[in-house]
Amino acid sequence: MQHGNPQELTVAEDALRSGWSPLIQRAAVLRAPLLKTESGRSLSPFRVVSIKDFPPAGYLEEPERTIYLRERIPQARKYALQPYDVLVTIVGTIGEVTILPPECPTNWIPATNMFVVRMDNDPDGSKARTFYGLMKSSFGQDILESLAHGARIQIVSKKRFSRTAFPPFTNETIAIFEELWQQEKDLYAKSRELLRQASRLYLQAPDIESVVA
């Protein structure tokens, strides 16, 4: 797999022949509007995924922030997250990536500063995990950096991102990124356990009175 400048719909014919294709041909790319808590009665809760909810590895866990809606419920449901959706931040802090778990509540919605990438024909999430890995790699980060624009706040165009060409997700490519996915999860689990042990280390200290006696 070669790194390089991102290819758009005007991608060279040799790239197309090798299986590269625009993202929009293999996934839906969404960006939700800004939704805020409404006033009144009969409000329904929605959990909003923000960048601070993104874990360093593995599937996204429960979002922290809750908003309550009534009039804008249909709009929120339109952008409700689904299993294996990949989230990519594209405003301000660009290039943070996470992926939704296999079982995802129907009232989780994304913040407006991220794209939702929903792969086509991906019942087991293998394509989503491959895309997740690509976006976290230098290849994906280079793409986002090249697409970002703005004098004060950097932002990535949904149109240009959707038209960016990606390499084919062959069985070999998927196998490589599935292995990396598992390695990342295992290392993260080990790091959390080490942090847990470190946080309890001083509980093993001897009684100070016996030390100075």
pLDDT at 5: 53
Please give the Cα distance from 25 to 16 (Å, whole number): 12
**133-146 pLDDT, tens digit each:** 999 999 999 999 99
Query: Does residue 54 belong to any structural domain of this protein?
Result: yes
Lowest mean pLDDT among 1-10, 65-74, 124-133: 1-10
DSSP per-residue letters across 76-115: HHHT---TT-EEEEEESEEEEEEE--SS--TTEEE-TTEE
Query: Does residue 140 belong to any structural domain of this protein?
Result: yes
pLDDT at 10: 44
Q: What is the CATH number of the domain that holds 162?
A: 3.90.220.20
Residue 68 tokens read as 């309550």
Query: Does residue 213 belong to any structural domain of this protein?
Result: no
Query: Does residue 6 belong to any structural domain of this protein?
Result: no
Query: Does residue 183 belong to any structural domain of this protein?
Result: yes
